[in-house]
Structure 1
Amino acid sequence: MGLRRWVVGRAVRAARVLVVECPGARPARMAAEQAVAARGWRIAQTPASADVLLVVGEVRGGLDEVVDRLWEALPGPRARADVRTEGDAAAALARAAAVLVDGRGQRADAEQRDAAGAGPGDDTGGHDHDDTGGHDHDDMDMAPDGIPLAEGAEQDRDGLEMDALPVRLGPVLPDWPAGLVIDVVLHGDLVVTAAAAAVGGPEHDPVSEPLPEDTATVAAARCDDVAAVLALAGWEEGARAARSARDVLLARRGDDARATLVDLRHRVEHSRWLRWSLAGTGTVTPERARDLGLAEDVVGDCRDRLLVLITRAEAAARRYGASGLDAPVPDVPAVPLTAVGPLLEGCDLGAARLVVASLGSDLVPDPVPQREAAGA
């Protein structure tokens, strides 16, 4: 019994948390990630690697089914916790830790899952979360990231044309706007068509509901956008720096965040690796931007837009550092969801996620009349 308690204690100290962000809950999600780090826990990227499912915000608009599928995909021992506000995270994680070490409760959970045919050895749903957000692809071959490869019946193959495969990205993915769903059609690993929509929030509201009128929180969200691009680009050191700037802003230390962002910009601008990996990815011409009703700051490739995101974060941090919580933060042009799909056509899935992240999190369901607004 003593050995078992020791093993369980070590496992809890190294727990991994799969964070599900609902629309409108970004400040709470950022606070929850801080609380995870404060406990010495780590963020999980997939259900199969998670011990805790942390649901942040109000589950609505069809997200309940997605959350249930993710919960079923967690192997035991497991725990679920819910966070509604920034102040809830630490207590929610403490409750999850108590559930993880509750041997009797974990045995009951395992028996219930075995009786339902979804025991710890059942991997159903473990792959489809990564980029499909709940679609079942049990009979398909999987690429390394858990994305189904295109396949079809033999009579559909002519040896020349690739098969078309519909895949859903979202609504729950790491470094992905909350509630965003993009239905794509793949030929091989290339996106040939894509259409974006918002789920899980009130009808006609933005994908991510407006942040509180709090300069530090808005500046932290801008840093969060930068971290998402760098994480998806595979530069985890840079992503940690952006999250560090985010966290010190949430701790109301704007000067420290600004210094971190200035250093990060320098490293991004001089990184040959980032130039090689991002340059030319998701290029948007000025003509394409005008046709899609997009602002000029989306013109260029993912590297160009990453630098725009860093500029936004620097400006917000500078404004907070100079004037405090009530200083207005410069507006950021919203990106209509109708424009997101066309921007992904011709990308592979990995590049498509980078393109989405490089657009930032200011996504809205309806087109924004840029020319009319400019003339107003």
Structure 2
Amino acid sequence: MDLTALLLRVAARRPHVLVVAVPGATDVRLAIEDALARRGWPVATGPADADVLAVAGAPGPELAAVVDAVWEQVPAPRARIEVPAAADLHEHLDAATALLADAGHQRSAAVSGKEGHGTRIHSRPRPGGGQADHGDHRGHGDDPAHGGHEAHGGHEAHGGAQAQPDAHAAHGGDTDGDHAGHGAGQHAHHGHGGMVAGLPMAEPGPDRDGLTLDRLHVPLGPLLPDWPSGLVVRATLQGDVIQEAAADVLDAGHAAPFEWASAAARELDGLARFLGVAGWPSAAAQARRLRDAVLAGDRVDAEVAALLRRIRRSRTLRWLIRDIPAGPSTVADLLAARLAAVEAAVAADPAAPSTREPQHAVGLAGVAHALVGAELAAARLIVAALDPDTDRAAVGTGAGHG
């Protein structure tokens, strides 16, 4: 009996999928997320957690290089699917599971050292396709609507081209409330600068008070869970505070922007990503399910109202995001505006086309300025709250300075 083959077949029934969203291919990302939810396949939190790397859309040269670097970090057994259009998605997912379960293929690929080529599944493109300081939170109490929260881990630091020091680790929790905690840290090395053995070293520099402290240059993105597609933020840290930031989008203008057919679906999608970053996966999954129902033409007024009540009543979420600035606003105010926008869009007409509100029209410069002065642990919450539209980002870089 081939135990390895048996284990591969069992594991291939429920693979973890790391989704890489390409700017302009939001429709493919939505289709992948819906398919994974229907199949009960978990979304991977990083390369080390992934069995399948799913590229949603056709990346340009800059993003393609990052995807290749991430692919090298995915451990075997593994499979990679590239889906420029949503029509062939299920065929690709089925082919990925077949490759994962193929013991002979996985063995030969590992021995030959050509996994990067032997386990990739391509699709021919179709014409026209193109947190204030949050340490590790332990067992937060909550109101009766949540029924309590599990203990929470901190951040998982992923190495390589995709993963950044504040990337969130896997979040766990109960069926009602399951916020995960946030923490991040860097080790500064005095007297060093540039790269040492491929690792960025700190260099001395003046802070806002005129003191000379170590400065560490840290990139965030472009491939993080619930992160805007293609966005890269290059931050300069002193301690755990962002002193300078610059933001740009890889391959900006490479594809035509995605047009949302529904304002309610657009708002629910942004809300789902914010809740995912905040460490509340069950609420994020519910928001995504309602988003997909709206796109399918269903009326979900009662379900949306229940979700909004659940979010507004969460003392844990309020505590998590309190006093976190986000440019001229705060994360809490941006969340409140998002909830109000969801409510208004669903009450008016869920199928009405999306309009670009000021909250969603924030540019790259707005993202960069909002991050200056923030703690690294809060960076992803701030970006998720601002929810920049990277599909429409202009070519260039937005910069912010302390």
SS at match of 1:182: strand
Which residue of structure 2 aligns with residue 278 of structure 1?
Answer: 321
In the TM superposition, residue 57 of structure 1 has moved relative to its aligned partner by 0.4
* Length, aligned pairs only: 322
Q: Give the TM-score, by structure 2 length.
A: 0.72
More displaced 10-residue stretch of structure 1: 335-344 or 306-315:
306-315
Separation in structure 1 between the aligned mates of residue 28 and residue 303 of structure 2, nearest angstrom? 23
Tell me how far apart the structure 2 counterparts of residues 336 and 126 of structure 1 sit (CA, whole Å): 27
Identity of aligned residues (%): 37
Q: Which residue of 1 aligns with 2:21?
A: 21
Q: Does 1:214 align with 2:257?
A: no
| Structure 1: distance between partners of 2:56 and 2:40 | 19
In structure 1, what is the Cα distance between the partners aligned to 2:84 and 2:302? 32
The alignment partner of 1:53 has SS state of strand
SS of equivalent residue, structure 1 residue 347: coil
Counterpart in 2 of 1:261?
Answer: 304
Preserved CA contact (<8 Å) 1:191 1:344: yes
Match of 1:198 among 237, 246, 249: 249
Query: Equivalent of 1:331, from 337, 356, 365?
Result: 356
TM superposition score normalised by structure 1: 0.77
Q: Secondary structure at the match of 2:12?
A: helix
Encode CA deviations 1:158-187: one digit per residue, 9 max, x unaligned: 9x8541111111111111110111110011
Where do 1:222-261 residues align within 5 Å?
222-253=267-298, 255-256=299-300, 258-261=301-304
Shift of 1:40: 2.1
Q: Which amino acid aligns with 1:74?
A: V
Aligned twin of 1:150: 188
The Cα shift of 1:131 comes to 1.8
2:43 corresponds to which residue? Answer: 43
Separation of aligned partners in 1, 2:183 and 2:46: 10
1:18, 1:54 within 8 Å by CA — same for their partners in 2? yes
SS at the partner of 2:163? Answer: helix
Gaps of 5+ in 1: 117-124, 134-143, 286-298, 368-376
Residues 46-71 of structure 1 deviation map (CA, whole Å, 9 limit, x = unaligned): 10110000001011041111011111
Residue 318 of structure 1 deviates from its aligned partner by 3.7
CA 1:210–1:272 in 2, change beyond 3 Å: closer, same or farther?
same
Q: 1:115/1:100 Cα in 2 relative to 1: closer, same or farther (>3 Å)?
A: closer
Residues 15-69 of structure 1 deviation map (CA, whole Å, 9 limit, x = unaligned) = 1001100111112101101111222211001101100000010110411110111
Inter-partner Cα distance in structure 1 for 2:88 and 2:252: 21
Give the drift of 1:191.
0.7
Mapping 1:92-171, distance limit 5 Å: 92-113=92-113, 127-128=159-160, 129-131=162-164, 149-153=187-191, 161-171=212-222
| Amino acid across the alignment from 1:308 | A
Contact 1:167–1:184 (Cα < 8 Å) also in 2: yes
Whole-angstrom CA distance in 1 between matches of 2:287 and 2:347: 15
Distance 1:157 1:311, change over 3 A: closer
What is the deviation of 1:146?
Answer: 8.4
Give 3-state SS (helix, strand or coil) of 1:151's partner. coil
Q: Give unpaired runs (5+ residues) of structure 2.
A: 117-156, 167-181, 194-202, 206-210, 396-402
> Could you tell me how far 1:8 is from its partner in structure 2?
1.6
RMSD of aligned alpha carbons: 2.9
Partner residue in 1 for 2:141: none
Greater relative CO (CA pairs within 8 A, separation 6+): 2
Counterpart of 1:42 in 2: which secondary structure? Answer: coil
Q: CA deviation at 1:3?
A: 3.9
SS, match of residue 163 in structure 1:
strand
